[in-house]
Amino acid sequence: MTKKEVIFFDAGAYGPYVKCELINGQLESEYGDFHGDKMLDLKVKSNEAKIISFWKRMDEINVWNWNKTYNDEMAITDGFTWEVKLRNRDGKSKYSSGYEKYPRNYKKFITAINKLFEIKIDFWD
């Protein structure tokens, strides 16, 4: 039985932010820059091949083994926070979040998000 897929990424700091989500078969993203005045709101129809490629990439970078939290206790109070919620068609799922700290392959994840949602967000690390 195929599970409902979940692809959700939300990240930001004081100023810049990004939110990407698969909603009813549509890939939706929202982005704001450091000044908050340059905003992108983009909706892209999901493509079966791109979704399958994304899940393969998640397996390759082993996002499933990420810790639940990555927090830098010594970081400044207006630093960068992020949150990931994933569930593939087989029901394999991952929830992970962080504050000013990241899994070692975080940039590869961001690259996969950029490709899937057809956006260009920074890594903010």
| pLDDT tens, residue by residue, 9-62 | 999 887 778 899 999 888 998 877 655 555 667 788 888 899 999 999 999 999
Q: Strand, coil or helix: what is 12?
A: strand
Q: Write out the two tokens for 37.
A: 């005045």
Least confident piece of the model among 18-22, 68-72, 121-125: 121-125
Whole-structure pTM value: 0.88
What was the pLDDT predicted at 110?
A: 94
CA distance 45 to 38: 23
